[in-house]
Amino acid sequence: MKIKNMLLSKGKVLVTGGAGFIGSHQVDALIKSGYKVVVVDDLSTGIKDNLNPKAKFYEADIRDDELDRIFKKEKPKYVFHFAAQININHSVEDPLFDADVNIIGSLNVLENCIEHGVKKIMFSSTGGALYGEAEQIPTTEEYLCNPLLPYAIAKFTVENYLKFYKNHYGLDYGIIRIANAYGPRQNAKCEAGVITVFVETMLDKKQPFIYGDGHQTRDFIFVDDVVSANMMIFESSKSDIYNVGTGRQTTINEIFGFIRDSLGLNIKEKYNQELVGQDVSCLSSEKLKKALNWSPKVEVEEGIKQTVQWFQDKRERK
């Protein structure tokens, strides 16, 4: 086991979407663990300031032929694939574009993995959107996937392609179905995470509005916990799919209150429009806990405090 870890620590990892929210945190963790990291990001939603200076950066689209030249030059042993069209609403408005990026782009990544001898690929999928309005809460990986929106359909499609590439070419994989991730570096303008939207709006001294009655629940997981799960799965020998969530339901009203209290504000909840989307979403991570002894470390109250502090510090730096 020690020999295997030594060999892994000398490997080179290519991270698509490594200037984005979760991707950039993953890059930091990989570098901290001793990996050499190459980042590919077209900066359509990623931000250069997120880039770790120790990572080598290529500004490129995963759909382009340039990707082949990068693989050929860098010869990565491993790939973390985060690059995606991440706006669910835009996937509904333009499913062709969503499929082009999230399916065709992912196939281009996979073809390059085979062509250039990559040993393992880690794929960032979606949790709640994949299971829909599940009757089983918390929802396990065995629950029937019923993706209804183009974004989720594309993620599920790539999951199945990964199984094909494993069976046909022997490419190992790890798939994480992420709950509602949040934390520093999340981009409110393109990712629409409710925590980040509320934080930014309140920092602007404006009133955030809650959709529906605010009693809808989500499974909010701090970005550091997502990254730690990904690292464990990456360094394991098994190709498999894992939910990455907390198993805890938190209402949007509670989220509003946590953020308001963290900022020391005295504002009331205001509601606007009917709820669009799921009423309940919560993932079970028991499979990952049993397989690799992983569990989330950051409670949502503490995670929100850290997130609020990061956004405040960011504004002060400007």
Place of tokens 């629950």: 143
Alpha helices in the chain (DSSP H): 2-9, 21-32, 66-74, 88-93, 95-99, 105-115, 128-131, 150-169, 188-191, 194-203, 223-234, 252-263, 286-292, 300-317
C-alpha span between 222 and 118 (Å, rounded): 29
- The answer to whether 175 and 130 are in contact (CB under 8 A) is no
End-to-end CA separation in angstroms for the chain? 47
Decide if 51 contacts 89 (C-beta within 8 A): no
DSSP summary character for residue 135? S
Q: Which residues are catalytic?
A: 151
